[in-house]
Amino acid sequence: MEKRKIIIDVDTGHDDAIAIMMAMLCKDEFDILGIATVNGNVCLDYTTENTLRVVEFMGGGVPVYRGCEYPLVACMYGKRPTLPKKDKPGEKTHGWLLDELPKATIAPESQDAVTWYVDTLMAAEDESITLVPVGPLTNLAHVFQIEPRTVKKIKEVICMGGGYKYGNTNPLSEYNIWVDPEAAEIVMRAGIKKFTWVPLDACYASYMTKDDVQRIRDIGNRVADAAADIISFIWSHPKFIGKDVNSIVFDALCISYMLDSSVLKTIVPAHCTVDNGGGIADGQTMFDIFNGRIGGEAPNCYVALDSDREKFLDIVCEVMSKAKEAGV
């Protein structure tokens, strides 16, 4: 089987870490060309450090590129007063510095992520590279504005972001898109041949319980142990201590989908636009699943409205069990 060439774009917190681990364990399935970081969950320094920690823990060999530190316009004019995320040296932001892993001793590449994207895509064959953005879409928006011809090099974009029924930042907006809605709209207008959204609707359906995490830990290798620690982060977070909550490993669902597409359910064609008007719907991904039948535009993406929780857990466990065989 031919390996799928992929680029992962991350704002690495805990769920991104699991996605990277899974991708790096699937050596027969994926050729990871590189990982780009972006400001999102935490500041760019931290998302990059977290990414380097994961890559080094997994044995290295995958280049990491620093991406955009600022959203396109979302932090201008007070529109997003909390952005970009900035942190004091040594300060742990939202508990999302990956203390579950050793500090990185490797460094990011000297070339910035956007320039690397353009160079890599322009050197590739048409429709040969799959992009897996699981953070804000700032890097990709810059790429498509700098060099629109990169779009034809893309086989598929599989994006964790957005929501059909609801949001998690305001009532209508999912965080990755809320951070940089202008970037998301640019990406949706770029003309990508196949764009698959893995939104909150699908991610929330594949929650993990403490028993599920114990199943991962019982695999009994260092990667599974670390993954279990990382996924368990939510239960030690001050915001959730003592509350009956599950862990949502959002970004890992994108990797699982590439391994077994049936993990996503109710995948429908839709036309997606992104609200960036500054009102209550600011950052909302508006999916028209009626495909023009009521005056809308033709589909420009697919959106998964559900997922198979048991299959997702099976995939995660199967991948984590590869660690010893992979020599990690």
Give the chain's domain count: 1
pLDDT reported for residue 49: 97
For residues 23 and 32, give the distance between their C-alpha atoms in angstroms, rounded to a whole number: 8
Q: Does position 90 have pLDDT exceeding 70, yes or no?
A: no
**Range of lowest pLDDT (9-23, 66-80, 173-187):** 66-80
- The 10s digit of each residue's pLDDT in 200-245 is 999 999 999 999 999 999 999 999 999 999 999 887 776 766 777 8
Distance CA 101, CA 216 (A): 17
CATH number, residue 70: 3.90.245.10
Mean pLDDT over the full length of the chain: 93
Identify the sign of the CA torsion 123, 25, 251, 102. negative
9, 11, 16, 180: which one is catalytic? 11
pLDDT in tens, 109-126: 999 999 999 999 999 999
pLDDT bracket for residue 324 (50, 70, 90): confident
**Model pTM score:** 0.95
Task: Show the tokens assigned to 265.
Answer: 């359910």
Residue 45 among the catalytic residues = no
Average pLDDT over residues 278-287: 91
Indicate the DSSP class of residue 105: -
The H-or-E segment that residue 157 falls in is strand 154-160
- What's the one-letter identity of residue 33? L
Output the CA–CA distances (angstroms, integers) from residue 99 to 22, 49, 90, 222, in the order listed: 19, 11, 12, 15
**Residue 94: pLDDT above 60?**
no
ω into 84 cis (within 30 of 0): yes
Contact 201, 306 (CB under 8 A): yes
What domain range is 250 assigned to?
A: 4-326
Work out the number of other CB atoms within 10 angstroms of the CB of residue 254: 27
- Bridge partners of residue 272, in order along the sequence: 287
